Amino acid sequence: MSQAALRRTRAIASHLVVAPTGSQRCISTRPPVATKPSLARERTVGFYKYWIDINTRYMFDTALCRLLCNISCLSMCVANQCGNFIDATYYTFFDTVVNSYLITHCNLKPSSIRTPNPEPIFYVISSQASYHAPASFPEKLRAGMAVAKVGTTSVVYKVGVFKQVESGEWTCAVSGEFVHVCVDSRTGRPLPMVNEVKEGLEKVVVDQS
């Protein structure tokens, strides 16, 4: 067994405990870790600093629906024939709210990549989502975004997708994290963010203490 595989096995084993002697099950999992206060806050409307409305549409063709869900920056996202949003669709919501802020408040110019002197662009290097409640067409959705950390070349976003319930209040359907790295559009190498972009991102930094 390779050293990497051995480390992975040990990591998995560290989350298992032996059940009492005589038990029908020999191994049981440890109790789940309590939710951190900061994670609970990410499920509230007040946590986020920037918002956009999400327009949705119904699409019966599941295969075509899945294809479209792999295309970034969709302003109208799709539901399958059951009316529920495919998991990948939520990542288009994340991508849309983040890039909307970059374009409207940080003067990001994605179209410059087609010019002789293209400006730096952002690559997604990490993303994750936690699902809290199902959302379906034609429910009203909103996506909120805040910045958790701004570095020299990278930025960590917190994103939440909320749906409007019968009472008129907004409840969190999905929350997650989205990480961008600023790169040279020609070489793909990391670059320091320009001051205009960095200053725009710092305006929506959220306190996570």
| Least confident window among 30-34, 55-59, 84-88 | 30-34
SS3 47: helix
- pLDDT score of 117: 75
Please, what is the average pLDDT of the chain? 75
DSSP string, 48-116: -SEEEEEEEEE---HHHHHHHTTSS--SEEEE-TTSBPPHHHHHHHHHHHHHHHHHHHS---GGGGGSS
SS3 196: helix
Burial track 4-33 (b if 16+ CB lie within 10 A, e otherwise): eeeeeeeeeeeeeeeeeeeeeeeeeeeeee
Asked whether the beta carbons of 154 and 75 are under 8 A apart, the reply is no
pTM: 0.69
- CA-CA distance, 117 to 177, in Å (whole number)? 31
**190 residue type, one letter:** P
Q: Is the pLDDT of residue 3 over 80?
A: no
Edge-to-edge strand ranges of the sheet holding 76-79:
76-79, 50-58, 141-150, 154-164, 170-183, 121-131
Report residue 89: phi and psi, to 5°: -60, -35
Token pair for 196: 């205009």
Domain at 3-202, CATH class: alpha beta
Q: Is the pLDDT of residue 191 over 80?
A: yes
The residue that leads in pLDDT, 200 or 32, is 200
The residue that leads in pLDDT, 203 or 31, is 203
* Helix residue ranges, H only, 3-61: 3-13, 37-41
- CA-CA distance, 93 to 72, in Å (whole number)? 9
Token pair for 71: 């295309």
- CA-CA distance, 22 to 6, in Å (whole number)? 30
